[in-house]
């Protein structure tokens, strides 16, 4: 979505969007809607205004953003998980309803790759279900993000897939990523800069048999990272082969919820999280959310994305 905030645009880019909009084929995906934030955030109000302007030219079937805290105390960066709590559920549901009413189209969220523990992996789908179901919202299922959690915390792929509200999946993302070496063990990152692993294609195959409302599958690769075009072409051909002749199943399996207890922190803990990540001070976060962030590898990722991708914004 935000790519459409900065004209002028290349003629071929606008022409392709014009054709897609005329067919009703546009779906919108945002990175700065701040779904874990507050309505009084000036940047979110500006984002909503500019999003309306884009959608007036290129109407979309739905708009999704990302699970996670992306902005706090004047700093915007890549999304980070927050403790899953009833207060967070209410905050995100209220925010998404406000955006949905403001835009007049369905809204939703993409599942996150980063998690702070195995329990966090199990709770994130519970939060997605609790937030999206009252709105009949859209779950954008990123199978590489799901695969990151599976390999990083040694979880069962099918079990983790079926923890998600698969009846709400209308869009799937397929991508690759990279490995980070760490003293505590390798850690898979959602960097969109390499070929799609076999395990991700296997997750996609499982998902296609379990998502009755699926309409769109998107292949992702970040610009400037293709050193071997043959690898990308092979991934696209493999994706096409998996999708060819596929029909949606009649129903989704019953969702496998978690028995992990929810946390009790207020969503305002996001300020402590962003400050701690910017200062690489995990102990400061521990004071605000005791015993929550347990994985040192995930902390290194949080510090990296908060500082490398972060920038100051109006409060």
pLDDT in tens, 189-234: 999 999 999 999 999 999 999 999 999 999 999 989 998 899 999 9
pLDDT in tens, 150-183: 999 999 999 999 999 999 999 999 999 999 999 9
pTM of the model: 0.97
Q: According to the model, what pLDDT value does residue 175 have?
A: 97
Q: According to the model, what pLDDT value does residue 92 have?
A: 97
pLDDT in tens, 15-44: 999 999 999 999 999 999 999 998 888 999
| Between residues 103 and 227, the one the model is more confident about | 103
Identify the band that residue 97 occupies on the pLDDT scale cut at 50, 70 and 90.
very high
Mean pLDDT along residues 305-309: 96
Q: According to the model, what pLDDT value does residue 258 have?
A: 87
Q: What is the residue-averaged pLDDT of the chain?
A: 96
What the block records as the tokens of 276 is: 């701690």
* Residue 216, burial from CB neighbour count under 10 angstroms (0-12, 13-18, 19+): middle
pLDDT higher than threshold 80 for residue 235: yes
Q: Say whether domain 2-310 belongs to CATH 3.30.1330.10.
A: no
pLDDT above 90 coverage of the chain, percent = 94
**CB neighbours (10 Å) of residue 291?**
8
Q: How many CA atoms lie within 13 A of 150 on its CB side?
A: 19
């Amino acid at each position: 979505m935000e790519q459409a905030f900065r004209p002028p645009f290349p003629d071929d880019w606008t022409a392709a969007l014009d054709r897609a909009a005329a067919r009703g084929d546009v779906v919108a995906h945002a990175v700065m809607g701040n779904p874990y934030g507050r309505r009084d955030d000036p940047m979110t109000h500006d984002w909503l205004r500019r999003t309306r302007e884009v959608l007036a030219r290129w109407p979309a079937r739905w708009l999704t953003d990302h699970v996670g805290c992306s902005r706090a105390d004047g700093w915007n960066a890549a999304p980070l998980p927050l403790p899953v709590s009833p207060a967070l559920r209410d905050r995100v549901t209220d925010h998404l309803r406000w955006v949905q009413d403001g835009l007049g189209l369905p809204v939703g969220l993409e599942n996150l790759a980063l998690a702070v523990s195995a329990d966090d992996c199990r709770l994130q789908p519970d939060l997605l279900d609790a937030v999206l179901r009252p709105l009949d919202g859209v779950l954008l299922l990123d199978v590489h993000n799901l695969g990151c959690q599976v390999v990083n915390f040694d979880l069962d792929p099918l079990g983790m897939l079926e923890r998600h509200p698969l009846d709400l999946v209308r869009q799937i993302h397929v991508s690759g990523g990279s490995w980070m070496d760490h003293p505590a063990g390798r850690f898979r990152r959602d960097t969109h800069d390499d070929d799609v692993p076999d395990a991700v294609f296997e997750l996609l195959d499982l998902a296609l048999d379990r998502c009755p409302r699926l309409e769109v599958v998107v292949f992702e690769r970040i610009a400037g990272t293709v050193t071997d075009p043959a690898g990308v072409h092979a991934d696209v051909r493999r994706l096409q082969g998996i999708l060819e002749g596929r029909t949606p199943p009649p129903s989704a399996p019953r969702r496998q919820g978690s028995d992990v207890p929810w946390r009790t922190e207020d969503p305002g803990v996001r300020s402590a999280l962003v400050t701690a990540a910017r200062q690489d001070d995990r102990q400061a976060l521990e004071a605000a959310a005791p015993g929550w962030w347990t994985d040192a590898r995930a902390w290194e990722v949080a510090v990296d994305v908060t500082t490398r991708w972060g920038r100051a914004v109006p409060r």
